[in-house]
Amino acid sequence: MSFQMSMFLLLLVATILMLFVSYLSFRKRKIEVAAYNALVMLSASFYSFGYAFEVMSTDPGRVRLWLGIQYIGIPFISTFWLLLVIFYTGHRALLKRWVILLLFTIPALTLVLHYTNDLHHFYYKDIQYDFNTSHLSPVLLLKGPWYWVQVSYNYVLASAGMFLFTVMYLKAVPLVRKQVVLMMLGGAAPWLSNLMYLGFQGIHLDWTPFGFTLSGLIYIWGIYRFNLLRLGPLALQTVFETMQDGVIIVDYDNNITHSNEAAKGIFGELPALPDRLKSIYDVLSAHPDLLSKLKEPMNSENQISIRQDEKMRYYHVKISVIRDRDRHILGKMLILSDITQITEYQDTLLSNAEQLAELNAFKDKLFTVVTHDIRDPLALLVNLTEIIEEDFVDAGSEEFNVFHEVSSQVRDTYMLVENLLDWFRSQKGKASFSPLVWDLALIVQKSVATMEARSELKHIHLISSVHEGILVFADKEMMDLVLRNLLSNAIKFTEIGGHIHIEARQEEGKVTVLVRDSGVGVDPKVGGSLFHDVQQGSKAGTDGEKGSGLGLYLCAKFVHLNGGNIWFESNTDHGSTFLFTLPAKDTVRAQLRIEKELAL
């Protein structure tokens, strides 16, 4: 195979490769860098394709034809490449409209002068073809003055692009530096190849298309290895520099290679430039605990405090190990997050919590002392008023009505104190809960006996039809409170001469207790919240009795604690029936439910 044929095939391969890179970049054309890279590679592919056929040409006429194909792209390659660099390095603010027009002025003139060269020979003085030459290429191009203007312009743009890359490299973090180096290598390959062509005119062979081939190979590798053109290094660099958290990167010798502005604000002694290495041990000398964490070959976290501007600031430090693909340690990254405000809030909350705990303890003690100091005298007063009312005051006399009122007020107040104490114990989780198997009839009889005196005062018939042998699994003290409050509520809202009936129904796994009265019924407006909220301003009874609003709320709480449910059925002016359930003896389901309620 002849040399010309070998060059022809290599240049065609180079063309295909550059078109492929152009296609990969075009797919990401929404990113300006990728779009300009597609234009660079497309322009270079015209160059390579035309030059392949120029090498195979056998007369000057065909050489001119294929030079025309090459110059569709050649004048614009450098301009597109500089635009790529400008966008890549984040200097798009330089691209004013007049700047862009100026950048394309010389390429446009080159295009015109090349296609009109036969009229003025300002670009090529002459194009010759020597069949007898010993040079690798028989084509001899005698350059005119504008040719050197175009070449000079290309190298000015190449130098400007390399300068922007160099500045970016010096400021970049290690991850970004790899991408910058790839872009620099890809850009340098064509210019070095062109220098070989211009410096060795004797061989008459342009190596520049092969430089673009090498550039294409580098960019393909970069696209698949580092996602080149997909995630702009400028974005990474901008994020790094504008992070509110301080970031310090150290190498495997614990020398600082880079730090962002936030980190420099924390440690003023940090070096200004990445290439001025400084040991992390000098910067963190006042924090030996953090340095000890830094020596560990694993990720870790710590907290440090630093005095800044006469104020103590606190930072959470996360140390992450940086490894290569073979898991070798390359260095470490320290991320410092300012947690001063959080720490101050925590201290304030802790102080407030301690004060609140002290106040609650004092309140609880005061509440307990006061209620007990009131409860005992009230219990004595209840007994005394009952004795006086029964033995020393004649029924129907004026004194009897007075003592009746006093006795009623004392009993209501005593009931209020009892309910307050029970409510307080339930809120504090100190209510004694000891469920056992009980005969329901005994609990009902005790409650009826307790409330009998009050029912007789209103001539209310209090009847219990709960027979012995109905066994429930419940806490006796709580059931006493539930029955006492339900009976008290029934007496309160039943007219003089009415009746109250207590009964029980044994069903599968549970026992339902019913307290039915012939009273005024439940107001529909308060019925929905009767068991869920403390009733503020409880409605007065049929004889003017007052209530605390706590009774039914406590009933619901204690019934649920024992594994049952409570509800009511009522019609205004036709009485009410309050119902609640209790677990029957030996009911496994009930036992489990009680345990669940206790856990909550």
The mean pLDDT of 97-104, rounded to a whole number, is: 90
DSSP letter for each residue of 154-218 = HHHHHHHHHHHHHHHHHHS-HHHHHHHHHHHHHHHHHHHHHHHHHH-GGG----HHHHHHHHHHH
Instruction: Give the pLDDT of residue 231.
Output: 46
Sequence-distant contacts of 252-260: CB under 8 A, at least 24 apart: 252/329, 252/330, 252/331, 254/279, 254/280, 254/281, 254/294, 254/332, 255/279, 255/280, 256/280, 256/283, 257/174, 257/331, 258/173, 258/174
Report the pLDDT value the prediction gives residue 149, as an integer from 0 to 100.
Answer: 93
Nearest to 302 by CA among 288, 316, 286: 316
pLDDT given for residue 504 in this prediction: 94
- Asked which of 148-152, 383-387, 500-504 is least confident by mean pLDDT, the reply is 383-387
Give residue 600's pLDDT: 44
What CATH number did the domain enclosing 159 receive? Answer: 1.20.1070.10
Which pLDDT score is estimated for 48?
87
256: pLDDT strictly greater than 60 = yes
Tell me the residue type at 194: N
424 or 501, which is more confident: 501
The average pLDDT across 422-434 equals 60
pLDDT at 480 over 80: yes
- Out of 216, 236, 256, a domain closes at 236
What is the percent of the chain with per-residue pLDDT over 70, rounded to a whole number? 74
State the chain's mean pLDDT as an integer: 78
Overall average pLDDT of the 56-71 stretch = 83
**Greater model confidence, 138 or 481:** 481
Helices (H) and strands (E) in the chain, counts: 21, 15
| Confidence bin at 513 (pLDDT 50/70/90) | very high
Per-residue pLDDT band at 592 (split at 50, 70, 90): very low
For residue 499, pLDDT beyond 50 = yes
Report the number of distinct structural domains present in the chain.
Answer: 4
In a shared domain, residues 331 and 199: no
Please check whether residues 377 and 464 belong to one and the same domain: no
**pLDDT over 50 (residue 37):** yes
pLDDT value, residue 548 = 58
Q: Considering the entire predicted model, what is its pTM?
A: 0.45
Last residue of a domain, one of 378, 396, 426: 426
Examine the domain organization and report whether 253 and 170 are in the same domain: no
pLDDT at 373: 64
Q: How far apart (Å, rounded) are the C-alpha atoms in residues 366 and 360? A: 10
pLDDT of residue 275: 45
Do 574 and 463 fall within a single domain?
yes
Q: Are residues 292 and 164 in the same domain?
A: no
Give mean pLDDT, residues 104-127.
90
Last residue of a domain, one of 294, 317, 338: 338
pLDDT higher than threshold 70 for residue 425: no
Residues 136 and 261 both lie in one domain? no
Q: Are residues 408 and 454 in the same domain?
A: no
Predicted pLDDT at 290:
79
Q: Are residues 440 and 588 in the same domain?
A: yes
> Which range, 29-33, 141-145, 191-195, 545-549, is most confident?
141-145
Q: What CATH number has the domain bearing residue 305? A: 3.30.450.20
The mean pLDDT of 560-583, rounded to a whole number, is: 87
Task: Give the span between the Cα atoms of 484 and 550, in whole angstroms.
Answer: 13
Q: How many CB atoms lie within 10 A of CB 135?
A: 13
Residue 38 and residue 150 in one domain: yes
Residue 157 has a pLDDT of: 92
Task: Give CA–CA dist 433/437, Å, rounded.
Answer: 13
For residues 220 and 254, state if they share a domain: no
Domain residues for the domain of 277 are 243-338
3-state helix/strand/coil string of 78-144: HHHHHHHHHHHCCCHHHCCHHHHHHHCHHHHHHHHHHHCHHHHCCCEEEEEECCCCCCCCCEEEEEC
Whether residue 375 is found in the same domain as residue 314 = no
User: Are 206 and 248 within one domain?
Assistant: no
